[in-house]
Amino acid sequence: MAMADARQLPGPSFVTWAWQLVGACRDQDSELFFHPEGERGSRASSREAAAKAICAGCPVLAECAAHALSVHEPYGVWGGMSERDREEIFVGERRPAAAARAVFASPVAVAVG
């Protein structure tokens, strides 16, 4: 069986991912957005709040949030939402009132909405 010729595969779509080039997080340390193994308690809350504060002023907040929700991004802060925030939305899809509370209780959602 012959292997596929990689030259014939479609290339990356710049338009699809172009929003990432102007994200407020682009020049930040990724550890701010992705927790180290075993992080808990006030340290985790502080890191997450700092990441969400950067997201709050991001020009591509909506695109980032839409991406994270569409691919069910499992890790990190994306579009001003933590892993827990996104999970509440996914669970809330089965309970619409809970999803609405989770989104509108978020300081980032209030700041941009």
Q: Which of 8, 16, 15 is nearest to 71 (CA)?
A: 16
pLDDT confidence tier of residue 22, bands split at 50, 70 and 90: very high
33 pLDDT more than 60: yes
pLDDT of residue 109: 43
pTM, two decimal places: 0.69
CA distances from 81 to 2, 12, 20, 94, 96 (A): 44, 26, 16, 19, 18
pLDDT digits (tens, 9 = 90+) for 82-113: 999 999 988 877 655 544 454 545 554 434 43
Counting DSSP H helices and E strands in the chain, the numbers are: 6, 0
Residue at token pair 């839409």: 66
Residue at token pair 């209030």: 110
User: Would you tell me how many other CB atoms lie within 10 Å of the CB of residue 92?
Assistant: 16
